[in-house]
Amino acid sequence: MSVRHLSDDLIHDILQYLREDRDALYYSLCVNRFWSSQVVPLLWCQPFVNCPLSKRHLLIRTYISCFNTDELKNLNPYKINNLSEIQPTLFDYARYLESISDCHLNSSVLDWIHKQINQKFSDFPVGAITTSLWHLFLRKCVKIHSILISPHYFNSLIPTLKSTLLTSTALHSLRNLEIVIDRDFIKGKFPITVEILKHLSLLCINIEYLEIKILRKINPLTQQLIIDIIKTQQSLKEFKLTENWIHSTNIISSLDIHINHITSLGLFSFLFDDTSIKILSKFTCLESLQLHKCGCIEKFPNRILSDAIFNLKSLFIVGTPSNLTTSIIAKAGHMLQLLVMDCVNNDMIDFVSKYCPNISMLYVELTQNDYTLLFPWIGSLQLETLEVKCSVESRNRTHLLSANDSGKFLQLLTQHLPLTLTFLRLEGMEILPEDFNNFSKNCNVPLQTFIIQGILKHYNDDEVLCLIYQFATLHNNTLELFGIDRDVIPQKWSKKLKKLGIDIFSIDDFETLYKSY
């Protein structure tokens, strides 16, 4: 009987499907030379992201083995142990790199140096090694998709690369660019980084995701560099800007040429005026809007936003004045499916109910004084996902919602939960056993995932397991995941719930809708 062999194209497609499964890829390395040649690029496209911190120094060693003569010359003045013993590698690993973060790179170099050299802190050859690494990447990389430039990190001196930049094609495929600008950057402490920014607007015209974080007031030159990068892009789709309350309208105004392309916009610590609100109102394809701790010096933003034609699918609006918040909600429209907000009052609920009735995913932050406002509103929505965070502010400290208020909240929740709900996360509550038992018995929605923080903090493991198991038993027809705020999940908990077909996990391993932004 003949053995059928998989075609090369099919093997390639299988491995692409498994690219996030690191264990499967490592096993695939050992099949044969062809499989290995297909797996290595997948393992080395984002090595600093996928490698544990404790082993990143090994990446530096591997990349040094790819250095040419000129790149090794930079290291000659330093007494680096066993440098001459580093042998050439079987694969040209630098060729496959697609993502570079200068903070990851520098921390990994430092770690490698610590293991190689016993020198004073000031004598570390970080700049020399980083210089050679950047030259290597620009010389060898076929396509760099993502770069994060954060010069405020220790010794983050992106090297003199002008001549290399002008001849390299590695950055022509750049799609994601993140830049952090702090005080040292503005003072000219990182002139080479500024030099790179000058060339990015010429070399990279197809950036799709651009994030700028401005942590200090910037000078006109730096501002113009950012504007040039924005204006030269041909297909910018996602843009995020953190201004730290620095009013620089020119940057947001430069987005005017992208109003028909941008689908996602995020503004953080941003101060709106009439000009920036007019720009916001012009976006025709905007689907996702994130406003975090923004201000507004325009008294009547609704007058400007009344002409906006965007139809949002997701809206994140936290720490932002109510006049701007309600104006945006009024224009969000029937397409809005995901809403994240921290301000719950009657006016806000009226606006959301009137203009955005089709929300299916909701994250709200509530206080002791407004948690009752959630009802009966949520019962009128066709929610699939609900995340609620409760808190009590006292003497500049945040506390859990009291046991009494938590009990009342759970009682109201069982009465008004939408029958469409499959995901529920509750955070910031002090829950008593009897209240949790009542919730377990009266919750009649088809939950698949239930995450709860603050459950029975002062009770032993057996008591907590008994209550969780009771909830799982009552809901095992639909429940698949149960999350709880424990650093370590006892093995007996996992085994007992697994018999019901339910996995239990620590909530630290789960990302909220809030954190996903």
- pLDDT band per the 50, 70, 90 thresholds, residue 247: low
Cβ(445)–Cβ(472) under 8 Å? no
Write down the pLDDT at residue 185: 58
Q: What is the pLDDT of residue 257?
A: 94
Q: Which residues does 505 contact at the CB level (< 8 Å), separation at least 6?
A: 481, 482, 483, 484, 489
Q: Which of 417-421, 458-462, 489-493, 508-512 has the lowest mean pLDDT?
A: 508-512
* pLDDT at residue 256 greater than cutoff 90: yes
Q: DSSP code of 516?
A: T
Instruction: Find the DSSP H helices in 321-460.
Output: 322-332, 346-355, 403-416, 433-442
Q: Which residues pair with 310 in a beta bridge?
A: none
d(CA 386, CA 423): 6
* Residue range 449-461, pLDDT digits in tens: 999 886 555 677 7
In whole angstroms, what is the distance from residue 9 CA to residue 16 CA? 11
**Phi, psi for residue 442 in degrees, rounded to 5:** -100, -5
**What are the C-alpha distances in Å from 186 to residues 69, 214, 325?**
35, 10, 33
pLDDT at 4: 54
Rg (CA), the chain: 27
Q: Per mean pLDDT, which range of 32-36, 125-129, 438-442 is the poorest?
A: 125-129
Task: Please state, for a pLDDT cut of 90, what percent of the chain lies above it.
Answer: 33
Highest mean pLDDT among 95-104, 260-269, 457-466: 260-269
Nearest CA among 426, 476, 414, 418 for reference residue 450: 426
Average pLDDT over residues 274-293: 93
Q: How confident is the model at residue 214 (pLDDT cuts 50, 70, 90)?
A: confident
Instruction: Give Cα separations from 440 to 212, 249, 409, 436 (angstroms).
Output: 46, 52, 14, 6
Residue 510: the pLDDT is 67
Cβ neighbours for 156, distance < 8 A, ≥ 6 positions apart: 102, 103, 106, 150, 190, 193
Global pTM reads: 0.85
Quickly tell me which residue has 């170099």 as its tokens: 109
Q: Label residue 498 exposed, middle or buried (CB < 10 Å: 0-12, 13-18, 19+).
A: exposed
**174: how many CB neighbours lie within 10 A of its CB?**
22
pLDDT, position 396: 62
Per-residue confidence band for 138, with pLDDT thresholds at 50, 70 and 90: confident
- List, for residues 357-374, the tens digit of each pLDDT value: 999 999 998 887 788 888
3-class DSSP assignment, residue 259: coil
pLDDT in tens, 33-62: 888 889 899 999 999 988 888 889 899 989
Q: What are phi and psi of 192, to 5 degrees?
A: -70, -35
User: Residue 142: what pLDDT?
Assistant: 85
Q: Is the confidence at residue 2, as pLDDT, over 80?
A: no
pLDDT-derived band at 230, boundaries 50, 70, 90: very high
Q: Which DSSP state fits 77?
A: T
Distances (CA, A) of 237 to 156, 249, 265, 296: 29, 20, 9, 25
Asked if pLDDT for residue 189 goes beyond 70, the answer is: no
Return the bridge partners of 266, or none.
Answer: 240, 290
DSSP state letters, 143-202: ---EEEE-TTSTT------HHHHHH--GGGG--EEEEEE-HHHHTTS-HHHHHHHHHHHH
Closest C-alpha among 346, 333, 399 to residue 372: 346
Question: What are the helix and strand counts (H, E) for the chain?
Answer: 21, 18
State residue 418's pLDDT score.
Answer: 94
- For residues 503 and 482, give the distance between their C-alpha atoms in angstroms, rounded to a whole number: 6
How much is the pLDDT for 217?
76
Q: Note the pLDDT of residue 513.
A: 64
Calculate the average pLDDT of the chain.
Answer: 84
Task: Please give the pLDDT value at position 74.
Answer: 79
Whether pLDDT at 211 is above 50: yes
Cβ atoms of 514 and 340 closer than 8 Å: yes
**Nearest partner of 454 among 415, 497, 409, judged by Cα:** 409
Tell me the CA end-to-end span of the chain in Å, nearest whole number.
55
**285 contacts 260 by C-beta, under 8 angstroms:** yes
In this predicted structure, the answer to whether residue 121 has a pLDDT above a threshold of 60 is no
Residue 403 burial by Cβ neighbours in a 10 Å radius (0-12, 13-18, 19+): middle
Residue 455: predicted pLDDT: 59
Query: What is the pLDDT at residue 309?
Result: 85
The model's confidence at residue 1, banded by pLDDT at 50, 70 and 90, is very low
Q: Average pLDDT in the 150-177 region?
A: 66
Residue 153: predicted pLDDT: 45
